[in-house]
Amino acid sequence: MTATYIKLLFMALFWGGTFIAGRILAAEVGPFCGAFLRFFVASVLLTILLFRLERPLSFPGKKHLFPLFVMGMTGVFLYNVFFLKGLKLIEAGRASIIIANNPIFIALMSAVIFRERLNVLKIAGILVSVSGAVIVITRGRILEGLGGGFGWGEIYIFGCVASWVTYSLLGKAVMAALSPLAAVTYSALAGALCLFPPAIQEGLFDGQPYSFQAWVSIFYLGVFGTVLGFLWYYEGIRRIGPVRAGLFINFVPISAVVLSFFILGEPLTLSLLIGAVLVSSGVYLTTLGAYRF
């Protein structure tokens, strides 16, 4: 059991680190090339793991092909293009706080689409988390409105949120028939295949050789941010349940803010710290609310 908690802590650290790796990668590599290379690495490793760990191997039925394709287009293609475009324009810590609202918007859309109940804990969590996001976006100058602090970088990162919410909601239906590993692998393969043509157009084989830091970022995003992160998260869900495993996601924005300070030298502003605490608290309340009625 202790090993499971350690893996979940590292999962949160790995996912926090994706913002630093993404920021480094976005400064040098185009979004389509960067996203394709990340998921080329991830798809190869996920496919190997799928064949080694799945007994019997589960293949998608005809009715799952289109949802898996859309999952690949949203959670892999669009998410990662928006991710790298956004990180080219705004700080890693700032982006991580906005994306940390993913569970909040998943809860809201689940209530709208699947008629899931919004209880007091969920509503409180949504309000607290959104308040934290507003503080981060406005850099603490709420009364001045969003106009001064809301630009293309924030728009791209919100595109990540919309893409991930769509991916997650489709995943709920697909994972009723496929294992999480199978669903993640097939959607990653679909997304990587769709990223290949625009990556070629962007100069995948024509540009200057990438730096050592760029290649380290690509392999970090593919291996640690995707394969190990997802594998250990779903392993945690299986061993200690979705509530306790889900709570470790609260450490993701915290680790991203801390890592961006030490590695990228980004400032630890008061608005960023307050926003991180509020968003993490809101996600915590919303996660508990999903299992308490």
pLDDT in tens, the chain (293 residues): 678 889 989 999 999 999 999 999 999 999 999 999 999 999 999 999 999 988 787 788 788 889 999 999 999 999 999 999 999 999 998 899 888 888 888 888 888 887 777 788 888 888 888 888 878 877 766 655 445 556 889 899 999 999 998 988 888 778 778 888 888 999 999 999 999 999 999 999 887 789 999 999 999 999 999 999 988 888 887 787 766 777 778 788 889 988 999 999 998 888 888 888 888 888 888 777 666 54
| Centroid of chain to Cα 62 | 27
Number of domains in the chain: 1
Contacts 24+ apart (CB under 8 A), 199-204: 199/30, 199/32, 199/33, 199/35, 199/36, 199/37, 201/32, 202/30, 202/31, 202/32, 202/33, 203/30, 203/33, 204/32, 204/33, 204/36
- Domain extent for 275: 2-289
Look at the pTM and tell me if it is higher than 0.75. Answer: yes
